[in-house]
Each structure stands twice: as structure tokens, then as C-alpha cells.
Amino acid sequence: MAHDDEAHLDERLLHRLLFFTDAVFAIVLTLLVLELRPPPVRDVEGPAHAIAEMGPHFLAFFMSFALIGVFWGAHMNTSRRMIRFDWPTAWTNLAFLFPICLIPFVSAWYGQGLGSPFIWAMYCWVLVGTSAGNMALVLVMARGGGRLMAPGFSPQERTYRVARAAGPGLSFGFGLLMLAAGQYILGQFCWVLIPVLFGVIEATLKPRGPQPVAGPV
């Protein structure tokens, strides 16, 4: 009976962790769109001119929305296999959400200062931090041979998922390198490397067929 009660409590805590994470992502996306404030219309030609002036804000919104979607999808793809709750995963998950919550701030800042290398550097650092948090979360979830997961994590799958989590961080790290080299314009397109890296990782690291599952350590 005590074992059944413990299992029921564990299940409730796991559900609370996942629901809380989804709620944070939903709130972050809501805050992102709230930064798209319509400018005042001053004359007859105002609307067209106003929309043109909002171009940088729309660019920042679309890019940030897509990136948040990538991280949400990655989190769902990994956490959907969780069958057990533990506190190290909960705290690491909270650390992962910290830079996620900063994305609306740096996105709004970037929309206001599209030509500022400093603001772009802050945007890149937040995305690098988010990617690092995702990597840490995968490693914590996969520890002990994936004892929190069903049916566990093989070493090959762990390597694949950590590499996927690192993809956005590597892309924006490249943006920071371009910025340090004085190539600000080129660095702003570093996000196009994300699908390229994902494709390479899928082709080279994704486990093919049944994988042996490591036992607990």
C-alpha cells in the first residue's frame, strides 16, 4: 500500500512538472507577442509607413517564436518518455526555463536596436544559455542509464539528444564569433545553421534500429 501511495505521489509530481513547463512556454510566447504594439497613426499615409517601421519588431518576433518552438518541441520529445519524477530533474528543468523567460526581453530589445552589435550579442548569449540548459536537462534525465525514462536511454541515444540540444547554442555561438571578428551582418544570420546542424546530427548520430539500453549505475 505504501509503495502504491509513493508511486501515485511520484506520478502527480511528474504531471505537475510537465504542466508547469508547458505553462511557462505558453506565457513566454504570450509575452513575446505583447511586444508587438501598434504604433500611432498620424496621417493618411501613416499605416503603411508604420508597418514598414515595425519590420525589425516582426523579424525579432518571428525568429524568437520559431526558436522557442524548437526548444519546446525538444523538451516535449525528451520528457514524453519520463515515467518517474526526481528533484534533480525538477531543478535542472527550472534552470532551463530561466533563459527561456529572458527571450521576450532580448527579442523586444533586438527589435528596437536591430543595428546594435551589443544587443545582438545579448540575444545570442541568451540563446546559448538556453541551449546549455537544454543539454544539462537531457544529461540529468538520461543519468543512470535512463532510469527515469521508458524504456531507458542507450549511450547512442543520449549522445544524439545532447547533440540536438547543443545545435542552437552552437549556431548562436558562431554568431558571437562573427561579431567578435567584426562581421556583424553575417553573424545575424547564424540561425540558419540550426536546420543544417540538425540535418547533420540526424544523418550521423541518430540511432538506427533497436538500441541496447544501459543499466542503472
Q: Which pLDDT value is given to residue 40?
A: 65
Domain ranges of the chain: 2-204
Q: What is the chain's pLDDT, residue by residue, as a tens digit (217 residues)?
A: 545 556 667 788 899 999 999 999 999 999 998 878 776 666 545 566 667 778 888 999 999 999 999 999 999 998 988 888 889 999 999 999 999 999 999 999 999 888 899 999 999 999 999 999 999 999 999 988 888 888 878 889 899 999 999 999 999 999 999 999 999 989 999 999 999 999 999 999 998 765 544 444 3
Q: What is the pTM of this model?
A: 0.87
CA distance 211 to 17: 28
Q: Which pLDDT value is given to residue 212?
A: 46
Q: Which pLDDT value is given to residue 7?
A: 64
Q: Which pLDDT value is given to residue 100?
A: 97
Beta bridge partners, 82, equal 149
SS3 content of the chain, % helix, strand, coil (to 5): 75, 0, 20
Closest-CA residue to 75 (of 144, 155, 146, 136): 136
Concatenated DSSP letters for 143-202?
HHHHTTBSS---HHHHHHHHHHHHHHHHHHHHHHHHHHTT-HHHHTTGGGHHHHHHHHHH
Q: Which pLDDT value is given to residue 48?
A: 65
